[in-house]
Amino acid sequence: MSAPAFAHLTDLAAERLGGKALLCTDDFFAEKENLLKPGRGIFIADKYTDRGKWMDGWESRRKRTPGHDWCIIQLATSGKIYGVDIDTNHFLGNHPPHASVEAASIPSTGNIDFDKIQWKEILPKSSLQAGSQNFYEINDHTVYTHLKLHIYPDGGVARLKVYGEVFKDWSTFDANETVNLAAAVNGAKSILCNDMFFSHMNNLIMPGRGVNMGDGWETKRNRTTGNKDWVIVRLAHKGTIEKILVDTCHFKGNYPDSCLIEGCNIPIEEENKLNTDSINPVVIGWETILPQSKLSADYEHFFEKEIISKNAFTHVRLTIFPDGGVSRMRLWGKIER
């Protein structure tokens, strides 16, 4: 099955972004936390625990009483949900036949009594196929913070992906407050690159340092003379950039020789202009923020005094010469009202 368009949005429930599995009725066979891990889950044929077969997902025991199982998820950040993927990968004779999803917007302060939460159904009871990605579009675009995944009556789900858009109430931010404009958790999004053969461009703007070489943006080896690879990031909010971090963590024999960072101003509706020809500065009107600067292996490169533009931008383009891998990019600055 080909993924729907909403699957290109941010996974608001991803553990790596800060999502958490808080509570469930039962995870006897496999822990609820697995729901939010990257990928689709793996299968190891001869791996068992003292409770039975090891499974890479959330799996409850066979229910012998009335009712069904559920799991409560705290999203990494408040957001508008456009679709979900209830993935039963490797769950074949033990997947739930049906699932539904409820949502709520819960203040982050104080202890939460989930018994008193007013949940709203955003996905009615729907069928699940075994060993499959089960994509469902969500038409309720209210801002939510928590989800409740119901499975009927029991069984295993490998992963839950919650695709949507980060919501930040920027009116509450002080104009003098410094914020990472390139953080996915703040609403930034990697939208286009010319190459991500080895690892995905979205990794660039994830929290924390990369856990390994696969947790970054890495292009293939390019043999073309004068080659340069690039990735375009939509900033979380239009703003000025005051401090930059380019981290080549774990990239030792394959880090780029140097990098360049430029910015532009375009509305989201005109992002279609950012195509594979957008390396041409005439097309968009890119302005240099950080001139081409030398990089080193497995190192956090901070740039501040090297920044030459104090203008506000909506998008940035990181160009690397000639190719290679970058683990993370941070762009700290101030939003423009």
Domains, in order of start, for the chain: 5-166 (2.60.120.260), 174-335 (2.60.120.260)
β-strands 133-137, 69-87: how paired?
antiparallel
Taking the CB of residue 74, how many other CB atoms lie within 10 A of it? 19
- The CA–CA distances, whole Å, from 333 to 63, 220, 244, 326 equal 52, 31, 9, 21
Cα 21 to Cα 146, 156, 279: the distances in Å are 10, 15, 41
Rounded to an integer, what distance in angstroms lies between the CA atom of residue 191 and that of residue 202? Answer: 8
Rg (CA), the chain: 22
pTM: 0.92
**pLDDT of 278 strictly over 60:** no
Q: How many CB atoms are located within 10 Å of the residue 80 CB?
A: 16
Q: Whole-number mean pLDDT of the chain?
A: 95
Task: For residue 41, count CB atoms less than 10 angstroms from its CB and return exposed for 0-12, middle for 13-18, buried for 19 or more.
Answer: buried
Asked whether residue 277 carries a pLDDT value surpassing 60, the answer given is: no
pLDDT at 248 over 80: yes
Matching residue, tokens 């990019």: 329
Q: Which of 9, 13, 30, 123 is nearest to 78 (CA)?
A: 13
pLDDT of residue 28: 96
Please state which of the ranges 26-35, 107-116, 193-202, 231-240 shows the lowest mean pLDDT.
107-116
Across 285-294, average pLDDT:
96
Question: How confident is residue 109, by pLDDT bands cut at 50, 70 and 90?
Answer: low
Nearest Cα residue to 57 out of 75, 68, 71, 77: 71
Question: Does pLDDT of 279 surpass 60?
Answer: no
Residue 35, amino acid: L
Query: What's the rounded Cα separation, in Å, for the pair 262 and 313?
Result: 9
Strand partners, 23: 72
Beta strands in 88-228 (DSSP E): 98-104, 120-127, 133-137, 143-152, 156-157, 159-166, 179-180, 189-193, 217-218
Query: Which residues does residue 71 pair with via DSSP β-bridges, in sequence order?
Result: 24, 149
Lowest mean pLDDT among 107-121, 176-190, 317-331: 107-121
Looking at residue 139, its amino acid is N
